[in-house]
Amino acid sequence: MKEAVMIEFEVNDMTCGHCVSTITKAVKQTARDAVVAVDLGNKRVQIESKTADEAEFKAAIEEAGYTPVQAPASAGAPRKSGGGCCGSCH
């Protein structure tokens, strides 16, 4: 059985609860077993999965309309907002 992998992305254009929901749904459609943790304040999406890999999750998030970037290991500082999905959040 394949071991679970932890994948982390910075998604600087994730700005509100709607964004979080959209990204979570995209990840879950890629791998139902995925455990998704989103830190909206730091623009982070953490995914743990045994069935899908980083490229698949990145593609799913991009298809949902966002720009995921592999997060550096030493992250944690607040990220600058780069826009948003609905125009009402800044």
Q: What is the DSSP string of the chain?
A: -PPPEEEEEEETT--SHHHHHHHHHHHHHH-TT-EEEEETTTTEEEEEESS--HHHHHHHHHHTT--EEEPPTT--S-------SSSS--
What is the pTM assigned to this prediction?
Answer: 0.79
What is the pLDDT at residue 30?
A: 96
Q: What tokens were used for 11? A: 């998604």
Residue-wise pLDDT tens digits, 63-80: 999 999 998 764 444 434
Does 83 have pLDDT greater than 60?
no
Confidence at residue 57, expressed as pLDDT on a 0 to 100 scale? 97
CB burial class (10 A; 0-12, 13-18, 19+) of residue 61?
buried
CATH 3.30.830.10 for the 5-70 domain, yes or no: no
What's residue 18's pLDDT? Answer: 97
**Letter for the amino acid at 46?**
Q
Read off the pLDDT of residues 10-33 as tens digits, 9 standing for 90 and up.
999 999 999 999 999 999 999 999
